[in-house]
Amino acid sequence: MNAMIVPEPRNWMSYLMDSLVNSGAMPTWDAMEYLTTNLVGEAPNPNLHHSKSPYETIQQLLHRVYRPIVEAASRTVTIPQQSMIHMFTDISLMGKSAILVVYHPGQNQPHQLLLLDSIPAWDIVFETSSGFNNWAEERYGWIVSALKTVAHPAGSAPIEQIADLQPALVES
């Protein structure tokens, strides 16, 4: 997965397909069909409505769409080795589902919210692949911008900040 190149705005659909194939989630022909069936067409997405397990289907779709975007953003901005980025979903079958991307800087520092995207999953359908590419590029930009802010805070380094919080021992 590390060998993938961060996409240009017009290549997000192929980037997601590469991600699905390289992660072993599905072969190339299935990945292409899955993405075009679920992301290009008319809303609402009938695959989500007719699924026997819509909760799992929606969660899987959101992870397959957002995870590569988050991974690309985390490779664009250099983050400290001890830090991590996690993605969480809160699935709603009737309303908007929430996607949260959280930055964990490590060393017991507070976590930072990078992205909170709220969308009805069945509406993540675009007329063309370029419409999807624009949508994905926008989210990628939001995450990169947020990462640049939290991964490189102005002022003292994280180690210095932690040292400032250490209690001083006073001998009597």
The tens digit of pLDDT for each residue in 59-101 reads: 999 999 999 999 999 999 988 889 999 999 999 988 999 999 9
- Asked if 44 and 122 count as a contact pair (C-beta separation under 8 A), the reply is yes
User: At 88, phi and psi to the nearest 5?
Assistant: -125, 150
Q: Report the chain's terminal Cα–Cα distance, integer Å.
A: 57
**CA–CA dist 110, 143 (Å, integer):** 18
For 6-64, write each residue's pLDDT tens digit: 555 458 999 999 999 999 999 998 999 999 999 998 888 888 878 899 999 999 999 99
Q: How confident is the model at residue 119 (pLDDT cuts 50, 70, 90)?
A: very high
- Asked if 76 and 58 count as a contact pair (C-beta separation under 8 A), the reply is no
pLDDT for 154: 47
Angle at 85 between CA 82 and CA 87, to 5 degrees: 155
**CA–CA dist 141, 40 (Å, integer):** 22
**What percent of the chain shows pLDDT beyond 90?**
58
Is the C-alpha dihedral spanning 116, 118, 122, 126 positive or negative? negative
Sorted by where each starts, the structural domains of the chain and their CATH numbers stand as 9-152 (1.10.3100.20)
pLDDT for 122: 85
**CA–CA dist 164, 150 (Å, integer):** 19
| DSSP 8-state class, residue 5 | P
* Residue in the block written with tokens 């993405």: 35
Q: How confident is the model at residue 108 (pLDDT cuts 50, 70, 90)?
A: confident
- pTM, to two decimals: 0.80
pLDDT at 103 over 90: yes
pLDDT at 125 over 70: yes
Distance of CA 89 to the CA centre of its chain: 10
Q: What is the mean pLDDT of residues 162-170?
A: 44
